[in-house]
Amino acid sequence: MTKDWTFDQPLDDNTPTSSSEERAKIAALFHKENQEGAEDVDYVATFEMEQQKSKNQMVPQQKTQEQCIPEDKHSSTITNDYKQYLADVMDQNNGDIRQSQKKIEELHQLIDDKNKQNKKLQAISAAIDDL
């Protein structure tokens, strides 16, 4: 009933395109004219130059920081703030635990006192029954 169909042609053109052709395609997508004079950019060299610039800028900053009076080394960062928050919460929880344990001990003492009182009352009741 149905006939098997196969497509024997390549789907894409495998010929590589140059960077200028790619730029022209992108410019056409954005409805811009092809800008002549676009040169190939060596991205690796540009990246290395930017890294070198940032290193050179960091060296003077480090020197000025060393000359300044050293401030608190544990600067306020999100991690340190959160650690401090966790420590405060744990301290509060430990305090709550100690208070709860004291209340539990008081309740146990109250239970023991009531049990002793009940035993005395039972003994008195038994003595009255014996009379």
Q: Each residue of 78-130: pLDDT tens digit?
A: 899 999 999 999 999 999 999 999 999 999 999 999 999 999 999 999 999 98
Could you list the residue range(s) of the whole structural domain that residue 45 is in?
18-65
Instruction: Give the count of domains, the chain.
Output: 2
Q: pTM (2 decimals)?
A: 0.37
Q: Are residues 57 and 85 in the same domain?
A: no
pLDDT at 24: 82
- Read off the tokens for 99: 């208070």
Looking at the structure, do residues 53 and 94 belong to the same domain, yes or no?
no
Residues 84 and 124 in one domain: yes
Examine residue 101 and state whether it is found in any structural domain, yes or no: yes
- The answer as to whether 129 is a domain residue is yes
DSSP characters over 57-70: HHHHHHHHHHHSPP
Radius of gyration of the chain (CA): 42
